[in-house]
Structures are given as C-alpha cells and as structure tokens.
Amino acid sequence: MVVVEQLLSESDVAIYLENLAKASWDNGTQTAMGMAASVKNNHQANPEDDIVRQLANDVLARIGSTAKFVSSALPHKIFPPCFNRYTESEHYGFHVDAAIMRMPSINGISNNEVLRSDVSMTLFLSNPDEYEGGELIIKTEFGEQTVKLPAGYAVMYPSSSLHRVTPVTKGTRIAAITWLQSMVSDVTTRQSLYNLDQTIQALIAEGNTSREHLDNLHHVYHNLVRQHAQVG
C-alpha cells in the first residue's frame, strides 16, 4: 500500500463536499457486478451528473500531476473516479475488484475501451472524527491492514486484494474511488521500481550524490521501466 498525503487541501475537500451535497445519488448496488453486488450497501454519486463529472475530472488532473502517485502506479489508463457515501449501517463486504472494466460512455456514446484493474485508490473526503466505523480493511500478505485516513489523503493498493469497508455506525463517510491499469502489471516489479525511484528522489533532495551516480541510477531505472512496461 502507498499513502498519498494531502492530495486535496482542507479547502479543496470543503468545496468537494459542498458540490457533492448538490449532486444526485444512486443505490450503490447498481454499479456492482457478480458476487460484489450481494455485499455492497452504500450510495454512489450519479456519474452523469455534471457536478460529479467535473469533480471526477479534477481528481484525474490532480493525481496525474502528483509525483508519488505516478511513481507508485506508473499509470497507463485511469477509470473516471466515482464518489461513494456510507451512512449508518451501510457497508461493503469483502470483495475483489473486477479484473477487466469497461470504460464508461462519453456523452451517451458507448465506449468499447477496456481497462485491466491493477491498482485501486481510495481518496478520503471525510475526516476520521466525522464518522464511526467505515474502516477500509485490506487483506495483504502481512495480514489485514486497517486504513482510515484524514480527508484529502489517498491510499493505493493492488486491485487483486480482498478488501471491505466496515459498517458505519455513526456519521457519514464520503470518498472517491478509482482504478487504473499500470504500464507494469506485476505487483512486485512495480514495487521495486517505486522503491528505486523514491531512493533516487531522496538522493537528489539530499544533494550529496554526484551527478554521474544519479545519471547511472536514472539509466538503470528507465531501462527497467522500458523492459517491463506494456503500453500497447
């Protein structure tokens, strides 16, 4: 898992919530497929709503220009972000995200493009003290990880992971979710590339490493990306 701190500022979050309060919301089961539909109990903002579409585009613009997001995900395609809402007693049981997703229609025109979900992202829009319950639980090789981040923070994790949202017992939990297809499909390789890139960035920030050594590291990094990336 990778946490992206303050993808949105407090004022950004306030604007998002103000606009989402004006949007239309649908039963979340309408967008679930297969076994996930039987364990999904929440609401989702109507993606055809102009307000929702504008907010989704803003999320796309922000994550596309966030270095940590790009470094960890190496995105090739990104699904338009969706906004979900959990009120008291609502939850989403353990499920795995669909491996292949069809991109939504554009202005009523069907889109035949598909996306392989490699990485999932949850962007929290409610602060932890605004609701009880509603934790994101992700099953990993190290056991279940519990995630409940400040508003404006995002968490990224492999779409192949079993995960759930525990029942909200008080208040309201609002978040944005999206999925992306990475240029590097293998989780372990992608993690190694992320660690290498973060190390390079840390060395640059410290300013104690020679340009020659940094160039050599960049050479290794980009050649590894070139070797493993799938962009067709």
CATH number of the domain that 197 lies in? Answer: 4.10.860
Q: Domain range for residue 50?
A: 2-182
Given this model, what pLDDT does residue 187 score? 93
The pLDDT value recorded for residue 104 is 84
Please check whether residues 150 and 212 belong to one and the same domain: no
Asked whether residue 191 falls in the same domain as residue 214, the answer is yes
Identify whether residues 172 and 202 lie together within a single domain: no
213 among annotated binding-site residues: no
222 annotated among ligand-binding-site residues: no
- Amino acid residing at 25: W
- Residue 221's φ and ψ, nearest 5 degrees, are -60, -50
Chain position carrying tokens 């306030």: 14
Q: What percent of the chain is modeled with pLDDT above 70?
A: 96
Together in a domain, 120 and 155: yes
Supply the pLDDT for residue 109.
Answer: 66
pLDDT at residue 230, as a whole number? 92
Q: Are residues 116 and 224 in the same domain?
A: no
Distance CA 216, CA 178 (A): 35
What lies within 8 Å, CB to CB, of 192 at 6+ separation is none
Q: Are 208 and 103 in contact (CB under 8 A)?
A: no
Do 198 and 175 belong to one domain? Answer: no
pLDDT at 107: 64
Do 34 and 88 reside in the same domain of the chain?
A: yes
pLDDT digits (tens, 9 = 90+) for 64-122: 999 999 999 999 999 999 999 999 999 999 999 999 999 887 666 667 889 999 999 99
Residues 29, 40 contacting (CB under 8 angstroms): yes
Flag whether the pTM goes above 0.85: yes
Low-confidence spans in the chain with pLDDT less than 70: 32-35, 106-110
Is 163 annotated to bind a ligand? Reply is yes
Residue 142: what pLDDT? Answer: 87
| Statement to judge: residues 217 and 134 lie in one domain | no
Short-list 27, 19, 97, 106, CA closest to 59: 19
Annotated binding residue at 173? yes
Instruction: Provide CB contacts within 8 A for 140, sequence distance 6+.
Output: 1, 157, 161
